[in-house]
Amino acid sequence: MLHRHLTHQQFTLAAIDDVIARSKRRDWAELRRVALQDRLMLEKVLRVCQAHVAGPYAQRYHFWKHYAKRHLA
């Protein structure tokens, strides 16, 4: 996925946020694949989600927060 406002294709915190907020299933699958291979990536996902879960329309962030927590345990 080409991330909005980003000039690279690395999974930075901004890129993770963009994938969760605006992407389709294919991009989620790529994030999942990378996250399952790298514990640090799961921690980044959790960090991004923590900043958004208070929002009234944060279902995507709740999903990824629980997913990351489950795999970090």
User: How confident is the model over 52-62, as pLDDT tens digits?
Assistant: 999 988 999 99
Give the domain ranges of the chain. Answer: 13-72
Please name the residues in contact with 10: beta carbons below 8 A apart, sequence gap of 6 or more: none
Residue 3 banded pLDDT, cuts 50, 70, 90: low
Res 1 pLDDT > 60: no
pLDDT of residue 20: 94
pLDDT of residue 14: 87
Distances 3 to 48, 50, 57, 69 between C-alpha atoms, Å: 16, 21, 21, 25
Query: Between residues 3 and 51, which one has the greater pLDDT?
Result: 51
Q: Which long-range contacts (CB under 8 A, 24 or more apart) does 39-46 make?
A: 39/72, 41/11, 42/68, 42/71, 42/72, 43/68, 43/72, 44/11, 44/13, 44/16, 45/16, 45/20, 46/72
Res 26 pLDDT > 80: yes
